[in-house]
Amino acid sequence: MTKSALSRTVIQTAKRRAFREMRADPAVRNYVLICLAALFLLLVCLSDRGLEWWSFAPPAIGCLTLLARWSHGPTLVLLSLTGLLGLSGLRSVRGYSYGLGQRTPSSMDLILCVAVLAYAVGHYRVLSLTRRLLPSELPQRGSSGVDPRSVRRSADLVAPWEMVLFGLSLLIWSSLALLLWSWLMEGKPPMDIPDPLWRFLQIVWASLALLATAGVSASYLRLTSATPEESLLYLQDEVWRQTRREQGVLNRWLAWARTRRRKERP
């Protein structure tokens, strides 16, 4: 069998499986349709930016990986988008300028954000429904003899309000991103720091501050809700970490003495 025939067979098999799953589970079908719609919107947005044939690349990758249920599909789409928009960022087509000069987002930018977010979320949820929910790096253990890695999210558990929440979240997070962008654009960089670098530093520091705050809060919450066993273990670990060398030397001598005594008086 030639390579092309083999690839055709693989694609046909994946297509058949995808259609079978779509027919069996309405939830899978809904998410797949959302993904396809999002990819279509993505195609429209990219074509609108004058990327010509290149605008087909990310949607095509998205379609193929969705069909094959490949878990790296969204990552590939995002990377291809990054490359495409990053490389063509300095071009000016049809009156749009995507370079340094553009400071006001258009409605197409908002649609682009909504489409990409919808595709990514939809694809991951389809994967949870059709392939696996729990990570593959999970060790295969289980007293019941069941491998938890093989567990998929049951399609019966997808409630109608989940779709509504999904649609609302698309609008909310895109709008919040726009607000954040406009806040970033307001300030002027001090000490003649270049504009992009200043914005980058702002984002990095804000993210780190938020991350640190959230992390500390989460760990504090966890400590306050710890069980007595966990608290005892934590305290014991702290004592051991601070005195482990001294304790180690003492216990090594004790163990040595026991072994010696045993050899002398078996």
Partner 1 sequence: MLTSRACWFLFSCLLMLGLGVLRPSLPLTLLGLTLLLWFAAQWLWFVVCLSSVRRLRVLREVRDDRSPVAVLWAGQSFEAHVWLLHDVKLPTPHITAVDFVPFAVRVEGLGADATTAIAQGLVSTEEPLEWTYRFRCGSAGVARFEGVRLHLADWQGFFYSVHFVHAVVELPILPVLSSRASPSASKKRNNLLLPPGVHRLRRPGSGSELLDLRDYLPGDPPKTIAWKVSARRDRLITKEFESEVPVRCTLFVDASNSVRVPASFGVGTRRLRYDKALDRLIEIAAGVLQANEAVRDPTGLCLFDERSSRGIAPNRGDAHRSACLRLLSEAAAHRPLPWPSGSGGTEALDQLLPSAYGLASEVYPELLRPAVNAVPWSTTWLEGYSTYSSGRRQGWFELLHRRKDALRRWCWWASFWSLLVPILLFAARWTFRAPQLNGVLVSSLFVGPLATMALWSGTAFLFGVDALAGWRRRRRNRWRKQMSALLSARYGLAPGGLATLLEDDDSLSLLLQRFLNEHQMPYALPLYTAEGRYAFAAPEKVSVLAQALLRAVNKGRDNELFVLLVDLLELDEALDPLLSAVRVALSRHHQVILFCPWPLGLDLPALEKRPFRASVAEKPAPNAETDGLQSESGLWNRLTARRYRRAYHRLRLAFARMGVAVLCVTGEEPVPLILNRLERLRGMGRPHS
Residues 104-133 that bind partner 1 (CB under 8 A): 105, 109-110, 112-113, 116-117, 120-121, 124-125, 127-128, 132-133
Residues 197-216 that bind partner 1 (CB under 8 A): 197, 199-200, 203, 207, 210, 214
Min. distance of Cβ 127 from partner 1 in angstroms?
7
User: Which residue blocks in 25-72 are alpha helix, DSSP H?
Assistant: 26-48, 57-68
33 or 79, CB closer to partner 1?
A: 79
6 or 221, CB closer to partner 1?
A: 221
Min. distance of Cβ 128 from partner 1 in angstroms?
5
Residue 89 makes contact with partner 1 by CB under 8 A: yes
Residue 28 has which token pair?
């899978």
Residues 155-174 that bind partner 1 (CB under 8 A): 157, 162, 169, 173-174
Residue 26 makes contact with partner 1 by CB under 8 A: no
Residue matched to tokens 């997070």? 173
HSE-CB at 133 with a 13 A cutoff on CA atoms is 7
CA dihedral 182, 183, 188, 190 (to 10 degrees): -150
11 or 226, CB closer to partner 1?
A: 226
At 93, is the secondary structure helix, strand, or coil?
A: strand
Residues 36-65 that bind partner 1 (CB under 8 A): 49
Residues 225-254 that bind partner 1 (CB under 8 A): 225-227, 229-230, 232-237, 239-241, 243-244, 247-248, 250-252, 254
CA dihedral 89, 94, 100, 104 (to 10 degrees): -110
Kindly state the DSSP code that residue 92 receives in the 8-state scheme.
E
| Cα Rg of the chain, angstroms | 27
Residue 81 makes contact with partner 1 by CB under 8 A: yes
Region of residue 45 (left: phi > 0; alpha: psi -120 to 50; beta: else): alpha
13 or 97, CB closer to partner 1?
A: 97
Of 78, 155, 163, 189, which lies in the binding site for partner 1, with binding defined by CB under 8 A? 78
Query: Residue 97 pairs with which residues in a beta bridge?
Result: 92
> Is residue 185 within 8 Å of 196, Cβ to Cβ?
no
